[in-house]
Amino acid sequence: MTEALTLRDVDRRFGGLKAVDSVSMTVSEGEIFGIIGPNGAGKTTLFNLISGNVSTMSGAIELYGRRIERMPVHRRARLGLGRTFQTSQLFAGVTVHENLEIAEVSSRRGVGGWLGSPTARRTVEAERVDLEAWDLADKGERLAGELTLFEQQRLALAMTLAAGARVLLLDEPSGGLVESEVHQLMELIRGIRDRGVTVLVIDHKMRLMMQLCDRIMVMALGAVITTGDPTEIAADARVRELYFGRAPVRGVERNERTGGPDPADAHTWRAGPTS
């Protein structure tokens, strides 16, 4: 199977803090790859290293066999790396339609890609289909900042695909969503995968991760604890220790913002994934 994304011994320190400590991993094309771990484990930093928002100190990152760890953010994006952010993930002051237009324009190349017109290639029909697919059909002329959180999430996903993402990094996509929306989100992410896109996802909602992911990597204190399919992860003693015992969690035990692992999800750990 094709390797979409490979990390070898990737390191990142902040001062004396090893935020990402010699992480190696391989994600295959078309896989949904989950990353879990306590607050401060280094998950977001790992995404930042892959997308280029934070630079590596050593180690190699390959996107479809191509070394990218020295490239600027926009070049990685043009090679097919897409990501969403935990906050301010849209162009809030312009319309939904313009958000999609920007996303699509930003991936165009050559002289036409610069001096051509935004509407030259993107037809009204193509956009209508796109908006319908994301259930945003009647929202085209609304300001993106006025959408509900879930609508914003969907628009952000639509934009990454419009920009040509082949490997997608999703950082806590379920944040702030209600239960029914989390379920729909899961279906949307599966739909994205079915289009051939590889998905890496960080999330604190265990039930979601257990059902959604093909494989899950567990991180703590910047290092990889283990990687396996959801059943293996749920059964792993070290993982259970990390989440339910006195685990070596840096700083506060529970993050105020995310609330840490949801205790309500705890049963999924014992029972394994329910489907």
Ligand X SMILES: Nc1ncnc2c1ncn2[C@@H]1O[C@H](COP(=O)(O)OP(=O)(O)OP(=O)(O)O)[C@@H](O)[C@H]1O
Residues that bind ligand X (CB under 6 A): 14, 17, 19, 37, 39-45, 250, 255, 258
Residue 44 lies near Mg ion (rule: CB under 5 A): yes
**Which lies closer to other proteins via its Cβ, residue 118 or residue 245?**
118
CA dihedral for 222, 224, 229, 232, sign (positive or negative): negative
Applying CB under 5 A, which part among 43-51, 56-64, 97-105, 260-268 lies near Mg ion? 43-51
Applying CB under 5 A, which part among 39-47, 144-152, 192-200, 218-226 lies near Mg ion? 39-47
Minimum distance from residue 97 beta carbon to other proteins (Å)? 6
- Give the one residue of 25, 27, 103, 200 binding other proteins; rule: CB under 8 A: 103
**Which lies closer to ligand X via its Cβ, residue 14 or residue 244?**
14
Applying CB under 8 A, which part among 13-21, 54-62, 138-146, 198-206 lies near other proteins? 138-146
**Which lies closer to ligand X via its Cβ, residue 19 or residue 27?**
19
Applying CB under 5 A, which part among 7-15, 41-49, 207-215, 219-227 lies near Mg ion? 41-49
Minimum distance from residue 257 beta carbon to ligand X (Å)? 7
Distance CA 74, CA 246 (A): 41
- Give the one residue of 83, 154, 205, 215 binding other proteins; rule: CB under 8 A: 83
- Residue ranges binding Mg ion (CB under 5 A): 44
- The contact set with other proteins (CB under 8 A) reads 51, 53, 72-75, 77-78, 82-83, 85, 88-95, 97-98, 101-103, 105-108, 113-119, 124, 137-138, 140-141, 143, 159-160, 163-164
